[in-house]
């Protein structure tokens, strides 16, 4: 029996159904700032998943770059996103995965979505869900996992530079409490993106702007970030939390 879907109160200025007139993630170049950060946190999150060929539920999959990375590691992937343009792009660009349109806050309403997934991956999604809907979302995700299935979440910390598309970002204590309240047991917490002025927005405006583009400098910043700044030593220096939890 499908669950009754409530009337969600989305902020129209933060509603991601307005995004993805292009498959943004696939437009990024290797030395573009969003792609550098994505490569760092996606690799850290994927390392916390069970080994392939596990079946992964990609929660809030967007246009599918995360799913593509999982396929490259040998996983089976099913993605869900409420932006139908993003799902259409994902089906076109990542043909070997399955993508379904649906609101991740009402998993029981997602047509064709099965159960028994080995793990769920929620990459840079939680901050785009209104705080009052986050526990409901995680409860629905948990119902789709097999007993012992893993949940891996990445989300920016409150210390990360502001993003107008984000709702309130949880601190570490709030985040782990939210995951536990949804019935999961915390297994591991990692800290990604060591905060530094070197990777602040003003530096990137200097190396790449409407007047010129210092591509060599961007490539050097990519090398430096992924080798020296991708891992943070603790929550006070982290721009992002990466949490692995298990459904009992």
pLDDT tens-digit series, residues 170-193: 999 999 999 999 999 999 999 999
The answer to the question of residue 188 being in a domain is yes
The CATH number for 121's domain is 3.40.50.150
pLDDT tens-digit series, residues 36-50: 999 999 999 999 999
User: Could you check whether the bond before residue 183 is cis, i.e. omega within 30 degrees of 0?
Assistant: no
The answer to the question of residue 149 being in a domain is yes
Interacting residues of 103 by C-beta distance below 8 A, sequence separation 6+: 5, 8, 82, 109, 110
The answer to the question of residue 10 being in a domain is no
The pLDDT of residue 1:
35
Per the structure, the count of domains in the chain is 1
Mean pLDDT throughout 55-76?
A: 98
The answer to the question of residue 54 being in a domain is yes
The answer to the question of residue 6 being in a domain is no
- Residue 82 reports pLDDT greater than 80: yes
The answer to the question of residue 58 being in a domain is yes
Q: Domain of 41?
A: 23-246
DSSP letters, 24-76, are: HHHH--TTSHHHHHHHHHHHHHHTTSPPTT-EEEEET-TTSHHHHHHHHTT-E
Model pTM score = 0.94
Q: Could you give the angle at which helices 33-46 and 215-224 cross, rounded to 10 degrees?
A: 20
pLDDT tens-digit series, residues 100-153: 999 999 999 999 999 999 999 999 999 999 999 999 999 999 999 999 999 999
The answer to the question of residue 95 being in a domain is yes
7: confidence class by pLDDT, cuts 50, 70, 90 = low
The pLDDT of residue 11:
86
16: confidence class by pLDDT, cuts 50, 70, 90 = confident
Average pLDDT, the chain: 94
The answer to the question of residue 238 being in a domain is yes
């Amino acid at each position: 029996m499908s669950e009754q879907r409530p009337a969600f109160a989305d902020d129209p200025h933060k509603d991601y159904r307005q995004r993805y007139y292009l498959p943004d993630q696939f437009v990024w170049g290797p030395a573009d700032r969003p792609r550098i950060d994505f490569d760092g946190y996606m690799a850290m999150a994927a390392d916390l998943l069970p080994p392939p060929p596990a079946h992964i539920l990609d929660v809030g999959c967007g246009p599918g770059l995360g799913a593509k990375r999982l396929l490259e590691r040998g996983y089976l992937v099913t993605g869900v996103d409420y932006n139908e343009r993003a799902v259409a792009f994902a089906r076109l660009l990542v043909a070997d995965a399955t993508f379904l349109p649906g609101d991740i806050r009402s998993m029981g309403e997602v047509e064709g979505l099965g159960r028994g997934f080995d793990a769920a991956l929620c990459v840079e999604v939680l901050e785009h869900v209104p705080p009052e809907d986050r526990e409901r979302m995680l409860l629905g995700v948990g119902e789709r996992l097999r007993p012992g299935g893993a949940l891996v979440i990445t989300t920016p910390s409150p210390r990360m530079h502001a993003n107008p598309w984000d709702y309130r970002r949880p601190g570490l204590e709030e985040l782990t409490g939210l995951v536990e309240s949804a019935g999961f047991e915390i297994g591991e917490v990692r800290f990604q993106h060591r905060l530094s002025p070197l990777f602040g927005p003003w530096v990137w405006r200097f190396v790449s702007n409407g007047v010129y583009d210092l591509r060599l400098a961007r490539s050097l910043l990519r090398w430096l970030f992924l080798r020296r700044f991708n891992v943070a030593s603790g929550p006070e220096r982290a721009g992002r939390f990466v949490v692995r939890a298990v459904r009992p």
